[in-house]
Structure 1
Amino acid sequence: MDCIVDLTGDHSSIAMCPDYAVGDWRYKKLSDHLFDWLPDAALKSQERRALLGDPMQMIGQACRRVFDVSDPSKRGEIGEILLHALCRQEYDTSPFVARLFYKMRSNDSVTSVDMAHVLQNEETGLLELWLGEAKLYGSAREARQSALKSIKPLWDTEFLEEMKALIGPKVETNAPYANELTWLFADQTSLDKIIERIVVPICIAADFDATKGAASRDNDYVAAVTKELQKCKKYFDKRVPDKVRFVLIFVPLDCKAKLEKRFNDRVQSLL
C-alpha cells in the first residue's frame, strides 16, 4: 500500500492505494497483505510469541478469534484489519488492547471501537490514544455517514467514563507504555487526561468509480482521488467537534466484493 495523496502535508488526511499491475487493480495483493497482518490485529502479543514456531496455527487461531464462521458474508472485520495495518505502517502506532469489544449503555446495545492503539507524540511528548473506526462500503458517501455515527460516542462524557473503566483491566501488561496506560485508566486519574490524548483515525474504504476506470495511478486518477479525499475531509471537518482530533484515511477500491471474496476464501480454508 502506498500513500498517493497527502492532502494536508502532515499525514492527517491521506489516500492509500495498492497500485495496478498490467492494467488491473491489485486486489489480490491487498487481500494477501491484510491476511499477513491478521495475527498482529487479532492476537495478544504473548499469544503471537507462543506460536512463533507454528505460523499456520497462529493464522488459524487468529481466524477463529476474529471471524464469525456462521456467515462469511458478514465480515466487516476486514476493514478493521485494514485500519490496523495502515496505522501500524503509516503512523507507527502500537496496539495496547487486542480487538476491543464491549457492551455499553443500559440497553445492552454493543458499542465498540475498531482499533485501540497508542503513539507517543514526538512534538508534545504526550502519549496519544488512537481509537479508530473503519468502514468498508460500496460507496464513500455511505461509509462517511456510518463512520460519523460510530465515532460520535467518542465525544460523549458518559461513554468515555464507561470506556475508561472497561479498557483499564484489558491493557496488556507488556504493552508499550504499559505503566503510563495503567495510570491513565486508573480510577483516580481525571478523564481530561484521556480526552486530551484521543486521536480518532477514520478509515473510509469504498468502491470508487475512478479506481474501476483506471489502468494505472496516472495524474487523472490521483486528481480524482484527491477530489474525493477533499470531500471526505470537508464532511468530517463540518461535523466533528474542534476539540476532537481525527486522522482520515481514504482507500478507493476497485471492487469491495472481489476483495472480500479473496480474503474470505482464505479465511474459510482455515476455520
Structure 2
Amino acid sequence: MTRFFDQKNIILAQVEEKDLNSFLVSFDIDDEGNLLYQLDKFTEAIINVIPEYVFASYEDPNIPQHQVIEKLREAAKSIYKIKDFELMYRYYVEKDDSVSSEIKPNNRGEFGELILHLLLRDFKGTIPLISKVYFKDSTGVPAHGFDAVHISPDEKILWLGESKFYQDGKGGLKELLKDLETHFKKDYLEEQFTVVKKNLSVNQIPQREEWIEVLNTCTLLNEKVKMINIPMLCTYEHDIYSRYSDLQCEEAVQYHESNIRDLKKYFDDHNKHPLKNVLNVILFLFPIQDKKELVKKLHERLYHLQSI
C-alpha cells in the first residue's frame, strides 16, 4: 500500500490482524555507526500530515508551487489556535511551568489525532471525510466528537476513530474504553452524523453527495454499526527500544507481541459495552521511546512552520 506521509518507511507494522494492529519506530545507524532511534524522521512523517489534517485537501494534491509555503504556514497557525496545542508548546518547549495548572492530568496528547490520521491513511487506505480543525469554533476548540472521521471509498466504510497519547499503555486504554462507552450510543452517533453532514455541505470531497445520502438514510443504530470501523489508537512509552537494537530479531518480536497481547487482553476484559459483539473495534497499539521527547520535537517543527 502506498504511504502518503511515512514515505521513508520509518514506521514498522508489526501485527496486522482484524481487531489488532501494532507499530514500532525503526532504528538506523548514524555516521559513526551508533544506533539511532529515528525520532527526526518519525516527527517529519507526522508533520507531513498537518496540511491535509487541517484542510482535508487530499482532493486537490496539486497545489500551485507558489502557494505551498503559504498553505503550510496557514495550517500550522490553525493548529496553534487550538488552546491545548498552544498550552503544550509553552509547557514542553518554552518550559513555562505557569501553564501546568491548565494542563489536564494524564493529558491525552494533542498529537494523538495526527498519528491516528497518518496510520489510517498509510496503512488502511482511508481518506478524511471532514476537517475537524477547519470547523473549529471561535474559542479555538476543535469540533467535538471523534478524533478521526475517515472513509474507505471503495468499501463504503466510515471510520470513526479515537486516540490517546499516554506514558502508560493501560492508562491510555482505560480512557479509550471510556470513549467507546460514551460515543457509541444511538443519541451520540445521531448527533455526530448531523455534524458530519453539516461539514460535508461545504466540502468538496469525492463521493460527497453519496455520503450525504448515506448519512441521511442510515437512521437505525443497527445500520450505523454495520458501516462503521472503530480504530482506537493508544500511543505509549515502552522499553523495547532500550532492550533491543534489532526490532526484527526473534526475541524482540516475542517481547513486543507479549506486550501488545497483554494490552489487548486488558482492553477486552474491561470492555463492558453492551454492543461489543457487534462493534467493529480495531485496536492500534504504538509503543514509542519517550513521549516528552517526541512531543517537544513535534512542537519545535510545527511552531517553526508558522514563520517559514
Q: TM-score, normalised by structure 1?
A: 0.85
- The amino acid of 1:253's aligned partner reads I
Secondary structure at the aligned position of 2:165 is classed as strand
Secondary structure at the aligned position of 1:77 is classed as coil
Give the structure 2 partner of residue 183 of structure 1. 213
**What do the CA deviations read for 1:10-49 (whole angstroms, capped 9, x no partner)?**
4x31211221123232122111111112112121327866
Q: Is the 8 A contact 1:131 1:200 kept in 2?
A: yes
Quick one: percent identity of the two aligned structures?
19
**What do the CA deviations read for 1:206-225 (whole angstroms, capped 9, x no partner)?**
00022232222122222111
Check if 1:43 corresponds to 2:55: yes
Runs of 4+ in structure 1 deviating by more than 6 angstroms, as ranges, are 100-103
CA distance in 2, matches of 1:111, 1:2: 31
Moved more, 177-186 or 72-81: 72-81
CA distance in 1, matches of 2:171, 2:64: 39
Per-residue deviation, 1:262:
1.0
Structure 2, unmatched stretches of 5+, are 1-10, 30-34, 92-102, 138-142
Moved more, 190-199 or 80-89: 190-199
CA distance in 1, matches of 2:61, 2:74: 10
CA distance in 1, matches of 2:252, 2:39: 17
Per-residue deviation, 1:102:
7.5
Distance 1:35 1:51, change over 3 A: farther
CA distance in 1, matches of 2:132, 2:252: 34
Check if 1:235 corresponds to 2:266: yes
Check if 1:245 corresponds to 2:280: yes
Give the structure 2 partner of residue 209 of structure 1. 239
Q: Is the 8 A contact 1:115 1:131 kept in 2?
A: yes
| Number of residues of Structure 1 aligned to a counterpart in Structure 2 | 257
Q: Is the 8 A contact 1:39 1:48 kept in 2?
A: no
Check if 1:98 corresponds to 2:131: yes
**What do the CA deviations read for 1:152-202 (whole angstroms, capped 9, x no partner)?**
22321111111122211112642232222101222x542333232111101
- The amino acid of 1:15's aligned partner reads S
Moved more, 151-160 or 31-40: 151-160
Secondary structure at the aligned position of 1:136 is classed as strand
State how 1:52-201 maps to structure 2 within 5 Å.
53-67=66-80, 68-72=85-89, 73=91, 76-99=109-132, 111-120=144-153, 125=155, 127-171=156-200, 173-186=203-216, 189-192=218-221, 193-201=223-231
CA distance in 2, matches of 1:149, 1:223: 30
Q: Is the 8 A contact 1:129 1:198 kept in 2?
A: yes
Distance 1:55 1:212, change over 3 A: farther
Per-residue deviation, 1:134:
1.2
Check if 1:19 corresponds to 2:26: yes
Structure 1, unmatched stretches of 5+, are 104-109
Check if 1:222 corresponds to 2:245: no
Secondary structure at the aligned position of 2:86 is classed as coil
Q: Is the 8 A contact 2:112 2:163 kept in 1?
A: yes
